Amino acid sequence: MGARTKARKRALDVLFEADQRGVAVGELLARRVVEPGAETALPQYSVDVVEGVLAHLERIDEVLATHAHGWTIARMPAVDRALLRIGTWEILWNDDVPDAVAVDEAVNLARELSTDESPSFVNGLLGRIVELKPTLLA
């Protein structure tokens, strides 16, 4: 597992934990940076991902809700929701990551950590976001 893949997974852990505990993502991130617990310190890319998702969360959720036909954000499995937020941020606001890599990483993590249907759901929704990227950023 590459360094960025591990960092994405750690970012996913933070987003998922905040969602499940009902705590503010920014507060949890600050705690994890200072007190990583049993884990090693968060890689800088994990911090960048969580901060990026947090900075664009309203727009990310709007994009996801608009293009996830038949699904609300709240109805999505929590792991999928966090993966989709990470993938959407990487596609729309992180020029250092090629779109195909962002989609592939999210799909692989969905395959590893979520339901049997999740990889195709994540792939389809992020693929649609890649297609619409020029209009979404306009």
Q: For 66-119, what is each residue's pLDDT tens digit?
A: 999 889 999 999 999 999 999 999 999 999 999 999 999 999 999 999 999 999
* Helix (H/G/I), strand (E/B), else coil: 39: coil
* Helix (H/G/I), strand (E/B), else coil: 24: coil
Average pLDDT over residues 15-36: 91
Residue 39: its pLDDT value, please? Answer: 65
Instruction: Give the model's confidence band at 38: pLDDT under 50 very low, under 70 low, under 90 confident, else very high.
Output: low
Residue 33: its pLDDT value, please? Answer: 87
Average pLDDT over residues 22-48: 87
**What is the C-alpha separation between 127 and 121, in angstroms, rounded?**
10
DSSP 42: P
DSSP 40: P
Q: Which residue's entry shows tokens 């997974």?
A: 9
For residues 109 and 85, is the Cβ–Cβ distance under 8 A?
no
Average pLDDT over residues 31-60: 89
Q: Which residue's entry shows tokens 């195709």?
A: 120
The dihedral built from the CA positions of residue 17, 59, 68 and 130, taken in this order, carries a sign that is negative
More confident residue, 23 or 36: 23
Residue 41: its pLDDT value, please? Answer: 81
* Helix (H/G/I), strand (E/B), else coil: 23: coil
pTM above 0.85, yes or no: yes
Residue 121: its pLDDT value, please? Answer: 97
